[in-house]
A = this chain, B = another copy of it.
Amino acid sequence: MIENQIFTKSIRYIQRKIKDILDKVSQENIDKVKDLFFNSKRIFVYGAGRSGLVAKAFAIRLVHLGFQTFVIGETITAPVQKGDLAVIISGSGETIPAVMTAEIAHNLEAYVISITAKKNSEIAKFADITFYISSGCDEEERKRYAPLGTLFEASVWILLDGLIAYLLDSKKETEEVMRSRHATLEQ
């Protein structure tokens, strides 16, 4: 019974750090981002590993909201063009595929939003807006209760779900309309 205190301590630690991180998100950025979504032709999302899963979860909701959305790396995608928006999630902000994706999208005159845990990262150079998702941590505690990119990934997941609620409200739509855009043949 005592042993599983690790589980309880971990989920409490993760929740506490998510709060710290999200409390620091710039409100001004959120408004600019909302405008970018409504002023872009199409949305592209990218991430690798668990960040890629967070990107896909966001993409699914964007489809539910009626945005034309593509996941970079999936079977069905499209060439990025001027006026599109690319959302790139990379904890390190330095991995080559993420930085290349940002650079190419930027050079094609698409808008770029980067979400990263690293200040002054390479990826931010090509981004119109960067969300800096991080929080000071005691490293011993973090490694034990939230190893590797755990805090970054969970925080970005919730950040993007909050953005979905904001976009839903801005479109004056409802959960029912979202549901009607849900896949009927999903396996």
Contact A4 B22 (CB under 8 A): no
Report the minimum CB–CB distance from A131 to chain B (whole Å). Answer: 12
Report the minimum CB–CB distance from A172 to chain B (whole Å). Answer: 12
Whether, in the assembled complex, A138 has its beta carbon less than 8 Å from a beta carbon of chain B, the answer is no
Quick one: which of B53, B60, B154, B165 contacts A161, CB cutoff 8 A?
Answer: B154
- Specify which chain B residues have a CB less than 8 angstroms from the CB of A14 in the assembled complex: 158, 161-162
Select from chain B the residue with minimum beta-carbon distance to A74. B74
> How many chain A residues touch B (Cβ–Cβ < 8 Å)?
85
Quick one: which of B49, B50, B97, B163 contacts A7, CB cutoff 8 A?
Answer: B163
- Specify which chain B residues have a CB less than 8 angstroms from the CB of A185 in the assembled complex: 44, 46, 72, 77, 79-80, 86, 101, 104-105
Contact B63 A53 (CB under 8 A): no
Contact A78 B147 (CB under 8 A): no
Contact B80 A6 (CB under 8 A): no
- Specify which chain B residues have a CB less than 8 angstroms from the CB of A54 in the assembled complex: 53
Which chain A residues have a beta carbon within 8 Å of chain B's beta carbons? 1, 3-4, 6-11, 14-15, 18-19, 22, 27, 30-31, 34, 44, 46, 48-50, 53-54, 56-57, 59-61, 63-64, 69-80, 86, 96-97, 100-101, 104-105, 108, 143-148, 150, 153-154, 157-159, 161-166, 168-170, 174-175, 178-187
